[in-house]
């Protein structure tokens, strides 16, 4: 299964052509339709959250706070500051921006965390 340019999920068989290798090498290659649909949901959710970050790119040489969203084992979503890279999927310029993203796009955060933690 793979995700088309239009966002539909299609089934295909391997024929040894270059598109098979390309889909596999770019991560657009799935054993089940459900996995492909989950990845599509992840891509759409992550782009929504990137839009919330408003193009913020952390400057790790600066000691200014950067903010990231985290999820606890009980499902709680919160925002925290840091000055060094914590490996978060996204960073925000302010705690307010991070918290607004949680409030507005909680579902998308959960999709991203679930995918990145192997739960989807």
The CA radius of gyration of the chain, in Å to the nearest whole number, is 17
Work out whether strand 77-82 and strand 66-71 pair parallel, antiparallel, or are unpaired.
antiparallel
Q: E-strand spans in 9-117?
A: 9-10, 66-71, 77-82
Tens digit of each residue's pLDDT (9 = 90 or more) over 11-55 = 999 898 999 999 999 999 999 999 999 999 999 999 999 999 999
Sign of CA dihedral 1, 115, 118, 38: negative
User: What are the structure tokens assigned to 52, written together?
Assistant: 């919330």
pTM (predicted TM-score): 0.89
Burial (CB count <10 Å: 0-12, 13-18, 19+), residue 26: exposed
pLDDT score recorded for residue 89: 84
User: What are the structure tokens assigned to 66, written together?
Assistant: 């950067």
């Amino acid at each position: 299964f793979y995700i088309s340019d239009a966002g539909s999920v299609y089934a295909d068989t391997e024929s040894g052509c270059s598109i098979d290798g390309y889909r596999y090498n770019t991560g657009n290659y799935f054993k089940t339709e459900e996995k492909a649909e989950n990845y599509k949901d992840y891509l759409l959710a992550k782009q929504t959250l990137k839009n919330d970050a408003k193009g913020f790119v952390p400057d790790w040489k600066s000691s200014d706070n950067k903010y990231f969203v985290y999820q606890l084992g009980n499902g709680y979503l919160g925002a925290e500051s840091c000055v060094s890279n914590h490996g978060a999927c996204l960073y925000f310029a302010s705690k307010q921006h991070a918290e607004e993203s949680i409030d507005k796009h909680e579902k998308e955060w959960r999709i991203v965390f679930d995918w990145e933690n192997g739960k989807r």
